[in-house]
Amino acid sequence: MTTSKKFEAVIGLEIHAQLKTHSKIFSTDPTNFDAGDNENTSPVSVGMPGTLPAVNRKVIESSIKAGLALNCQIKKKSVFARKNYFYPDLPKGYQISQYDLPICENGSVKIHVDGQERVISVTRAHMEEDAGKSTHHGDYTLINYNRAGVPLLEIVSGPDLRTPQEAGEYARVVRQILRYVDVCDGNLEEGSLRCDCNVSVRPIGQKEFGTKVEIKNVNSFRFVEKAIEFEIERQIEAIERGEKIIQETRLWDMDRNRTFSMRTKEDAQDYRYFPDPDLLPVVLSDELIGKIKSTLPELPQARMERFGRQFGISESAAGVLTAEKEIAEYFEAVTAACDHAKAAANWIMTELLRELNQAQKAISASPILPAALGKMIRIIDSGEISGKMGKTVFQEMWDTGKDPEAIIKDKGLVQISDRNEIRRLISDVLLINQQQVADYRGGKKKLFGFFLGAVMKATQGQVNPDLANEVLLELLEEK
Amino acid sequence: MEITNLSISEIASQVQQKKMSAHEVASAFVGRIEKYDSKINSYVLRNEEILNEARGLDQRLAKGEKLGPLAGVPLGIKDIFCTRGLRTTACSRILGNFVPPYDSTVIAKLKNAGALILGKLNMDEFAMGSSNETSAFGPVKNPWKLSHVPGGSSGGSAAAQAARLCAGALGTDTGGSIRQPASFCGVVGVKPTYGRCSRYGMIAYASSLDQAGPMTTTVEDAALMLEVMSGADSLDQTTAQVAVPTFFQSLTENVKSLRVGVLKEFMADEGGLHPDTQKTILAAVEALRKAGAIITEVSVPLAAMSVPIYYLVASSEASSNLSRYDGVKYGHRAQFTSLAGLSLDDFYKRTRGEGFGPEVKRRIMLGTFCLSSGYYDAYYIKASQIRRLIREQYLQAFRDCDVILSPVSTSPAFAEGARIEDPLAMYLNDVFTVSTNLAGLPGMSVPFGLSSEGLPIGVQLQAAHFEEQKMLNAGFALQQASTLKGQLANDYL
């Protein structure tokens, strides 16, 4: 990054998270992503005359859950408001959103960048409906209203982020939290999470904010970072050339790695917000908020800290293992089955996550169940098989989903741990390599590895490596 | 007695008992519409299927099935209610030939009760008007005097009912749109408590004020229809979770010790009340006193401010409610000979410019202005605050009385064309009706007297929230004493 040392950036994010519900926010239309064009529509969601919105309770409950997870205050009374503007994919000519009375306020999120912890404020989170999608085909445009009325929670951060990396990390953490509490699937490709970035720069030391530019609809965290990075540089360069930053909305062009102007403040719209008279204020009881609070799972930050404390694993390992709730739960289940947290952590991080990644599978779809992996670790720990054999067993478990014991039996994978048998095996190896034995005893200690390799080869790797090591040394050193 | 003069309950019981077929009843009304409506222009669409539907009802009855309380009752429906398979336009060009694939909740309830739909009734465009002169289908004539307006916006409903071109009519009331035309046409019109009837499928003008209501020849008929139409609806979250009383069965003309408040502010001399209207109101008060009611004077000081408050609130909501008519999904779309250089704004401007009439445009612009940043606090917020105070003052007044009696309109029906060029004069005509909607109260108009010109004059009754029964009872008592009794509109004959 070539950011000038004289300037700092001020960044705020608006994250639009699609709430995971079966039906839309104000109608009973389904919300599945794979529906055919305009299949998920009804007179309500396409804004036919006389139709009215009826709020989906699940949306309110999910918003409360998300708000609590983001440390927000849940407002006992919030109000749906109409945001008025004309666009063909907006069926009613207004979007039902929340304006001066959102459901969640004053939250915060902790992020870690370059070993530093920062607390980023969440100014507000409000419920709203999504619009449809227009596709332009030369001289005509088609509109798919499947998304119209899909429930969104717009999460607005304070102007607390200072670098593209912080912004990217904040977005990742928010996504992680929403996925933990199971209110958003966080699927960026399907548009379940979208980001608008507000970026301004100011000379270091200056209190006032610079003129802000909004970058709309950035749909990946990498692009969030890239778009902000580009924008910061663009603004600094402009200021250094003596230009003024214009308040405007820009879009990210991912093909050309740059932002470009969409509209300036002069043509900014007056949305004429007012309370939606078709909907009653959302009034929440302490009981409901308390009930939802009691269903909140342990959140990623707390879980990561606990993993370090409880299992003695490193912070980075705890971070990997708590990245997703399902991974954390898998890890805890494996640990419970084998009572060996570090081994469980290693097997999951080095073997399982690699395989899952390659196969593009979620951990919930893993062919190896936590109990089976735990069992395998227990068998290794008992010395019945070696860690190396374990890798073979693991591969077989991954490929076939079979039980580790059955695989060990089928493959005859039994570790030789009998001291006398090992002594006999090693003696045989030494007998056919007398010259090397003489060399070793003459001082060529490096040959130890050669003998160990030969022992392993002779036993097809089935010998207990620790014991083999010990016995080999014993036999070589006795003169 | 002629079929078309029967009351709703009479038709339903005769059809139910198979003394008369639903087909016979429907045919009689269809015949009457064919004979007379060319002079009145109350129907903008006729249901071509009604005779088949009537036959269907008769077949069900023949099989021993029992039908609801409106068995075979042919109704006229204000064109603001979405009716499945029947073109619905709110009498605006912008909706073009829109045919809804759904019934509004109120229509579904009426159909379930056995009612049949004769057709869709004329109205002011999007219910914006007080004379039925803003309709895209041309003005409706008052059956009492064809040179005069029937009132609005439910002018078609009032006129069709007055001329007995339907057994009962459905209207909507946002600021007086049921009560004022009912008064002008000498029929009963009831605007229920806000939240009593579902608004689902009723084309919105001002969502926080709109209510559906019956327009009938008698108070009994209104009570029966209202009972069927009422009730909470999961599709309209502003409907109230309250039980629906048996309005029809509980109806009584006994008003002994009923406390009737006369609204001071609406009887003031400077109100510009027509002398005939004033005379009628005073006669109505006397009639109730004679019937044993206790008359008191009540005050709602802010009621006199209702007109500006109403036009700010209603226009603001309307400006947003009417945004969906953009030519994209349904209804009218401007035709362009060439798309070259055409912007989205051009598309909207041409489509909406052609589709909406001048009064609708006026209110969209007024409302857009009220909601604009910089004006919102001074207009919309201020109006909403005063609206709340009006409601509180009414609640206060209802501690001292059960119903409030007042005029419906400053004068009887006026001549067509007399006020259409002067929107302010037209708006001021609503001075007695809009406060009811602002406060969410039930209100009704009961025909009571005749002007020196021979035009009917109604009396307005208001009650506290969900106290329609008291209001209907007072209206029933007034009906017994009405000097209009037996006199029918006949200028169209």
pLDDT band at A265 (very low <50, low <70, confident <90, very high): low
Mutate to test the interface with A, among B84, B326, B368 (most CBs of A within 10 A): B326
Q: What is the mean pLDDT of residues A153-173?
A: 97
Is B198 an active-site residue? Answer: no
Q: Do B324 and A91 touch (CB under 8 A)?
A: yes
Angle at A212 between CA A208 and CA A217, to 5 degrees: 145
Do A124 and A263 fall into the same domain?
A: yes
Q: What is the pLDDT of residues A98-136, one digit of tens each?
A: 999 999 999 999 999 998 999 999 999 999 999 999 998
Mutate to test the interface with A, among B77, B235, B356, B366 (most CBs of A within 10 A): B235
Q: What is the pLDDT of residues A389-415, one digit of tens each?
A: 899 999 999 999 999 999 988 887 777
Radius of gyration, alpha carbons of chain A: 30
Find the helix or strand (DSSP H, E) in which B221 lies.
helix B219-229
Do A44 and A170 fall into the same domain?
A: yes
Average predicted confidence (pLDDT) for chain A: 93
Do A122 and A151 fall into the same domain?
A: yes
| Structural domain ending residue among the three candidates A252, A270, A291 | A291
On whether the CB atoms of residues B103 and B233 are closer than 8 A, the answer is no
A50, A92, A278 ranked by CB distance to B203: nearest = A50
B200, B316, B322 ranked by CB distance to A52: nearest = B200
pLDDT at A177: 97
The answer, yes or no, to whether residue A332 has pLDDT greater than 50, is yes
pLDDT band at A238 (very low <50, low <70, confident <90, very high): very high
Half-sphere exposure of A226 (CA within 13 A, CB side): 15
Residue B240, min C-alpha distance to chain A (Å): 11
Which structural domain, as residue segments, surrounds residue A177?
Answer: 7-291
On whether the CB atoms of residues B231 and B110 are closer than 8 A, the answer is no
Higher-pLDDT residue of A435, B77: B77
| Structural domain ending residue among the three candidates A411, A428, A445 | A411
The answer, yes or no, to whether residue A263 has pLDDT greater than 90, is no
3-state secondary structure chain A: CCCCCCEEEEEEEEEEEECCCCECCCCCCECCCCCCCCCCCCCCCCCCCCCCCCCCHHHHHHHHHHHHHCCCEECCEECEEEEECCCCCCCCCEEEEECCCCCEEEEEEEEEECCEEEEEEEEEEEEEECCCEEEEECCEEEEECCCCCCEEEEEEECCCECCHHHHHHHHHHHHHHHHHCCCCCCCCCCCCEEEEEEEEEEECCCCCCCCCEEEEEECCHHHHHHHHHHHHHHHHHHHHCCCCCCCEEEEEECCCCEEEEEEEHHHCCCCCCEECCCCCCEECCHHHHHHHHHCCCCCHHHHHHHHHHHHCCCHHHHHHHCCCHHHHHHHHHHHHHHCCHHHHHHHHHHHHHHHHHHHCCCHHHCCCCHHHHHHHHHHHHHCCCCHHHHHHHHHHHHHHCCCHHHHHHHHCCCCECCHHHHHHHHHHHHHCCHHHHHHHHCCCHHHHHHHHHHHHHHCCCCECHHHHHHHHHHHHHCC
What does the alpha-carbon distance between residue B430 and residue B127 come to, in Å, rounded to a whole number?
Answer: 13
A204 close to B (CB below 8 A):
no
Question: What percentage of chain A carries pLDDT values higher than 90?
Answer: 74
Do A272 and A325 fall into the same domain?
A: no
- Which of B42, B104, B154, B177 does the annotation list as catalytic? B177
Question: What percentage of chain A carries pLDDT values higher than 70?
Answer: 98
Do A402 and A427 fall into the same domain?
A: no
pLDDT at A266: 62
pLDDT at B222: 98
Range in A279-288, A301-310, B219-228, B271-280 with the lowest mean pLDDT: B271-280
Q: What is the mean pLDDT of residues A17-46?
A: 97
The answer, yes or no, to whether residue A264 has pLDDT greater than 60, is yes
pLDDT band at B387 (very low <50, low <70, confident <90, very high): very high
Q: In terms of CA atoms, which chain A residue is nearest residue B342?
A: A139
Q: In terms of CA atoms, which chain B residue is nearest residue A51?
A: B201
Residue A145, min C-alpha distance to chain B (Å): 11
Range in A69-73, B274-278, B425-429 with the lowest mean pLDDT: B425-429
pLDDT at B269: 62
- In degrees and rounded to multiples of 5, residue B102 shows phi and psi of -150, 160
On whether the CB atoms of residues A17 and A70 are closer than 8 A, the answer is no
Q: Is the peptide bond before B153 cis (omega within 30 degrees of 0)?
A: yes
Q: Judged by CB atoms within 8 Å, which residues 450-469 of A form the interface with B?
A: none
Chain A hits for B324, Cβ within 8 Å: 47, 49, 91-93
Q: What is the pLDDT of residues A184-219, one digit of tens each?
A: 999 988 889 999 999 999 999 999 999 999 999 888
Range in A454-458, B116-120, B442-446 with the lowest mean pLDDT: A454-458
Q: Which amino acid is at B36?
A: Y
Do A92 and A43 fall into the same domain?
A: yes
pLDDT band at A1 (very low <50, low <70, confident <90, very high): very low
Q: In terms of CA atoms, which chain A residue is nearest residue B370?
A: A272
Is B343 an active-site residue? Answer: no
Do A94 and A46 fall into the same domain?
A: yes
Mutate to test the interface with B, among A23, A56, A86, A142 (most CBs of B within 10 A): A86
pLDDT at B155: 98
Do A185 and A280 fall into the same domain?
A: yes
A82 close to B (CB below 8 A):
yes
CATH of the domain at A423: 1.10.10.410
Do A67 and A17 fall into the same domain?
A: yes
Higher-pLDDT residue of B304, B438: B438
Q: What is the pLDDT of residues B474-493, one digit of tens each?
A: 999 999 999 887 788 999 98
The answer, yes or no, to whether residue A23 has pLDDT greater than 50, is yes
Question: Number of residue pairs across A and B with CB atoms under 8 Å?
Answer: 103
List helix spans (H) across B241-397.
Answer: 264-267, 275-290, 306-321, 344-355, 358-371, 382-397
Higher-pLDDT residue of A165, A460: A165
pLDDT band at A386 (very low <50, low <70, confident <90, very high): confident
Do A105 and A130 fall into the same domain?
A: yes
The answer, yes or no, to whether residue B270 has pLDDT greater than 70, is no
Q: What is the pLDDT of residues B120-160, one digit of tens each?
A: 999 999 999 999 999 999 999 999 999 999 999 999 999 99
Closest CA to B207 of B316, B82, B81, B325: B316
Q: What is the mean pLDDT of residues B88-103?
A: 98
Chain B hits for A86, Cβ within 8 Å: 323, 326, 344, 348
Question: What percentage of chain B carries pLDDT values higher than 70?
Answer: 99
Global pTM reads 0.91
On whether the CB atoms of residues B334 and B350 are closer than 8 A, the answer is yes
Mutate to test the interface with A, among B92, B97, B321 (most CBs of A within 10 A): B321
Chain A hits for B235, Cβ within 8 Å: 52, 54
Chain A hits for B82, Cβ within 8 Å: 48-50
Q: Which residue has the tokens 């010109």?
A: B453
Chain B hits for A50, Cβ within 8 Å: 80-82, 100, 104, 199-204
In a domain, A203, yes or no: yes
What does the alpha-carbon distance between residue B227 and residue B218 come to, in Å, rounded to a whole number?
Answer: 14
Q: What is the mean pLDDT of residues A266-294?
A: 93
Q: What is the pLDDT of residues A55-86, one digit of tens each?
A: 999 999 999 999 999 999 999 999 999 999 99
Residue B320, min C-alpha distance to chain A (Å): 7
What does the alpha-carbon distance between residue A32 and residue A47 come to, in Å, rounded to a whole number?
Answer: 20
Tokens found for residue B450 = 């005749």
pLDDT at A4: 59
- Which of B21, B104, B130, B153 does the annotation list as catalytic? B153
Which domains are assigned to chain B? 3-253 (3.90.1300.10), 305-384 (no CATH)
Do A235 and A334 fall into the same domain?
A: no
Q: Do B320 and A270 touch (CB under 8 A)?
A: no
Q: What is the mean pLDDT of residues B203-208?
A: 98
Residue B127, min C-alpha distance to chain A (Å): 13
Do A443 and A396 fall into the same domain?
A: no
In a domain, A198, yes or no: yes
Closest CA to A61 of A274, A287, A275: A287
| Structural domain ending residue among the three candidates A235, A257, A291 | A291
In a domain, A2, yes or no: no
Q: Do B82 and A47 touch (CB under 8 A)?
A: no
pLDDT at A162: 96
Q: What is the mean pLDDT of residues B431-449?
A: 97
Our count of domains for chain A comes to 3
Mutate to test the interface with B, among A23, A26, A38, A52 (most CBs of B within 10 A): A52
What does the alpha-carbon distance between residue A131 and residue A87 come to, in Å, rounded to a whole number?
Answer: 9
Q: Do A49 and B98 touch (CB under 8 A)?
A: yes
What does the alpha-carbon distance between residue B171 and residue A269 come to, in Å, rounded to a whole number?
Answer: 37
The answer, yes or no, to whether residue B1 has pLDDT greater than 80, is no
Range in A399-408, B72-81, B214-223, B338-347 with the lowest mean pLDDT: B338-347
What does the alpha-carbon distance between residue A101 and residue A281 come to, in Å, rounded to a whole number?
Answer: 9
Q: What is the mean pLDDT of residues A306-328?
A: 93
Q: Do B320 and A274 touch (CB under 8 A)?
A: yes
A272, A273, A277 ranked by CB distance to B207: nearest = A277
In a domain, A1, yes or no: no
In a domain, A244, yes or no: yes
The answer, yes or no, to whether residue B245 has pLDDT greater than 90, is yes
Predicted complex ipTM: 0.96
Q: What is the mean pLDDT of residues B112-119?
A: 98
Q: Do B320 and A84 touch (CB under 8 A)?
A: yes
Q: Do A272 and B330 touch (CB under 8 A)?
A: no
Q: Do B98 and A278 touch (CB under 8 A)?
A: no
Q: Do B317 and A277 touch (CB under 8 A)?
A: yes
The answer, yes or no, to whether residue A3 has pLDDT greater than 60, is no
Is B177 an active-site residue? Answer: yes
Average predicted confidence (pLDDT) for chain B: 96
